[in-house]
Amino acid sequence: MKSLLHHFGRLQLLALVITALPLIMLPLMGALWLWQSGLFWYWLGLLTVSGAGGYGLHRLLIWRAGKGGVLGGNQRPTTQAGSHWPPAADQPWEAVSAMADQVNPKDWPLADGARLWQLGRDTLEAVARHYHPQRENPLLEMTLPHALLIIERASHELRHRITDHVPFSHRLTLGTVSRAKLWKEHFSRLEGVYRIGYGIVDPTSVLFREFRREMGNRILGYGSEQVQTWLLQEYVRKVGYYAIELYSGQLLLTEDDGATPVTRRSRAQVKQAAASEEPQQQTQEPLRILVLGRRNAGKSSLINGLFGELKAADDVLADTTHQVTVYSLQREGLTQALVLDTPGLDTPQFSARALRHELAAADLVLWVTAANRPDRQQERMVLDEVRGWLQQDHSRRPPPMLFVLSHIDRLRPFREWAPPYDLKQGGSAKADGIIAAARAAADDLALDPGALIPVCLQPERLYNLEDALWAAILGQQDEALRVRLLRCVSDRRQRENWGLLKQQLTNAGRLLAGNS
């Protein structure tokens, strides 16, 4: 009290009391009026019921938060795992999410910069240890430019979050915020004097007023704790997100606008595909659809069916396709694509090395197997090799694979062909034969029977191409686009490495020449 009088002065404090006297008298006169009119006890009961109801809702909110997360219910975090990440990123992201779920403002106060830095460091180290488990200090397995880039991007996002969501943040200076904090401390001291004075003036309602104030502070404090916890969780997830991008090799030093510029390989193949057509400007990397299968399985016939016109030489004769042939496909609903027709998997023209090379650049695979050929041992061996390659490559997402069962018109009874057929329930000899052939092929290739798409590719007998196969291709387009994005990032990273090295050597040479 003495320090308060010394700070404000006696006359200033007296002036403040005189000014606030009408406001102080208002609740006293209100309580007196309630007493005289006989409504005081009704008001007291309403106050009790309201306080109990508010406190009950507060406890319910705490219970729901314990059941469904800190925000209650099934709230989804703002920062999610990258949809283009390879499966190898699932485990470190689960570790990051587990860390985010465990943070709380008591252990990691938002006002403590040192603790927040430690929390970010712990998150980075958890991700780094996953990608570099043999290193004594995996956190150091990053370049200096990448470390600066993470700081730059995090600061950039934080600036936009504050500018977009905090009112007057673009007008408030750091000095204003500092002075407001000092005024808050002064008003906190005055609040104690006000509460004591109010208790002397209106002792009848002071207990209920203090009860309401305490409950309100608890509710507001709990809400504040929710917001702080959410901010901490988002902080951990955001740091973990960029850490995974960094240590998995997806974080580029150059500007990344999310576009997928044409790769050098696709640019050459686009020119090859458009050699006999009117050239078109290609600004985005096309989807790369790889068609695989044994000789005479119907690969070229499938491509002709996809285009609706004769594009590839029909492979009714042996070894029609001797090398990888590229066709440019434009169709409504499908991103512009390159369709790659390949030699038979059982021919010397298509070695295991060539197959692996094409798979590394494929976004979607169409695997064609003939329904009328039961000898699938070699095909199964190649398919198992492909599966092994895709599982070993942790730097990319495996391309989705669609399995096409061709030549269904050549199944028994040979002379019957009267589509459409019920390929789920059967009902006719031909339909039953197609279902049995699909089951046998699925068993031979270790597939789910529903994964095979039976089609007839004869131009005069096209069947199940539009309804089933095209629907399946469009259904896998989003996943194929994610594969394409990661593939383009890998290509850009390689070009970036060589470009930066060239620039650094050039600038270093100029510097040395200038100093000599």
The pLDDT score that the predictor gives to residue 246 is 82
Answer yes or no: do 242 and 269 share one domain.
no
- Above pLDDT 70, what percent of the chain? 71
The pLDDT score that the predictor gives to residue 7 is 47
Q: Which of 515, 409, 509, 506 is nearest to 461 (CA)?
A: 409
| Alpha-carbon span 91 to 213, nearest angstrom | 46
The pLDDT score that the predictor gives to residue 299 is 94
The last residue of a domain, from among 221, 247, 273? 247
The pLDDT score that the predictor gives to residue 441 is 96
* CA 44 to chain CA mean position, Å: 53
Answer yes or no: do 212 and 317 share one domain.
no
- Please tell me the least confidently modeled range out of 192-196, 218-222, 354-358, 373-377: 218-222
- Give the model's confidence band at 8: pLDDT under 50 very low, under 70 low, under 90 confident, else very high: very low
- Give the model's confidence band at 507: pLDDT under 50 very low, under 70 low, under 90 confident, else very high: confident
Answer yes or no: do 449 and 336 share one domain.
yes
With 0-12 CB in 10 A as exposed, 13-18 as middle and 19+ as buried, what is 317? Answer: exposed
Instruction: Indicate whether 451 pLDDT > 70.
Output: yes
Answer yes or no: do 402 and 309 share one domain.
yes
In terms of pLDDT, which residue wins out, 253 or 455? Answer: 455
Classify residue 507: in a domain, yes or no.
Answer: no
The last residue of a domain, from among 247, 278, 312? 247
By three-state DSSP, how is residue 365 classified?
Answer: strand
Across the chain, mean pLDDT equals 79
CATH code, domain carrying 431: 3.40.50.300
Q: What is the mean pLDDT of residues 479-503?
A: 81
In terms of pLDDT, which residue wins out, 115 or 292? Answer: 292
Strand partners, 325: 341
Answer yes or no: do 411 and 444 share one domain.
yes
The pLDDT score that the predictor gives to residue 437 is 95
Instruction: Indicate whether 398 pLDDT > 90.
Output: yes
Classify residue 273: in a domain, yes or no.
Answer: yes
| Alpha-carbon span 34 to 29, nearest angstrom | 9
- Give the model's confidence band at 325: pLDDT under 50 very low, under 70 low, under 90 confident, else very high: very high
| Alpha-carbon span 135 to 140, nearest angstrom | 9
The last residue of a domain, from among 206, 222, 247? 247
Instruction: Indicate whether 209 pLDDT > 60.
Output: no
**Cα dist from 422 to 283, 368, 393, 407, 419, whole Å:** 43, 21, 40, 17, 9
Classify residue 252: in a domain, yes or no.
Answer: no
Strand partners, 368: 293, 404
Tens-place pLDDT, residues 211-241: 445 544 444 444 566 767 877 888 888 888 8
Cβ neighbour number for residue 428 with a 10 Å cutoff: 13
The pLDDT score that the predictor gives to residue 196 is 53
Q: Could you tell me which residues come within 8 angstroms of residue 413 by beta carbon, excluding any fewer than 6 positions away?
A: 429, 430, 433
Strand partners, 406: 370
Answer yes or no: do 276 and 232 share one domain.
no
Instruction: Indicate whether 74 pLDDT > 80.
Output: no
Answer yes or no: do 225 and 287 share one domain.
no
- Give the model's confidence band at 379: pLDDT under 50 very low, under 70 low, under 90 confident, else very high: very high
| Alpha-carbon span 186 to 174, nearest angstrom | 19
Alpha helix positions (H), 86-205:
90-102, 113-131, 144-165, 174-201
Answer yes or no: do 304 and 405 share one domain.
yes
The pLDDT score that the predictor gives to residue 404 is 97
Classify residue 256: in a domain, yes or no.
Answer: no
The pLDDT score that the predictor gives to residue 167 is 63
On whether the CB atoms of residues 411 and 437 are closer than 8 A, the answer is yes
Instruction: Indicate whether 64 pLDDT > 70.
Output: no
**Cα dist from 34 to 150, 195, 199, whole Å:** 63, 22, 18
In terms of pLDDT, which residue wins out, 268 or 274? Answer: 268
Instruction: Indicate whether 4 pLDDT > 80.
Output: no
Classify residue 513: in a domain, yes or no.
Answer: no
Answer yes or no: do 310 and 406 share one domain.
yes
Classify residue 499: in a domain, yes or no.
Answer: no
| Alpha-carbon span 9 to 5, nearest angstrom | 5
Tens-place pLDDT, residues 139-180: 888 777 877 777 677 667 766 766 665 566 667 676 665 566
In terms of pLDDT, which residue wins out, 406 or 231? Answer: 406
Supply the range of the domain harboring residue 484: 264-494
Tens-place pLDDT, residues 82-132: 888 888 899 999 999 999 999 988 898 877 778 888 888 899 889 989 988
- Above pLDDT 90, what percent of the chain? 34
Q: What is the mean pLDDT of residues 359-365?
A: 96
- Give the model's confidence band at 72: pLDDT under 50 very low, under 70 low, under 90 confident, else very high: very low
**Which DSSP letter does residue 313 get?**
P
Domains held by the chain: number? 2
The pLDDT score that the predictor gives to residue 106 is 86
Answer yes or no: do 128 and 223 share one domain.
yes
Classify residue 24: in a domain, yes or no.
Answer: no
Tens-place pLDDT, residues 24-55: 677 777 777 877 888 878 877 887 787 677 66
Q: What is the mean pLDDT of residues 74-87?
A: 77
Answer yes or no: do 425 and 339 share one domain.
yes
On whether the CB atoms of residues 79 and 103 are closer than 8 A, the answer is no
Classify residue 409: in a domain, yes or no.
Answer: yes
Asked if the bond preceding 77 is cis, omega within 30° of 0, the reply is: no
Answer yes or no: do 49 and 89 share one domain.
yes
The pLDDT score that the predictor gives to residue 164 is 66
In terms of pLDDT, which residue wins out, 294 or 505? Answer: 294
Instruction: Indicate whether 483 pLDDT > 70.
Output: yes
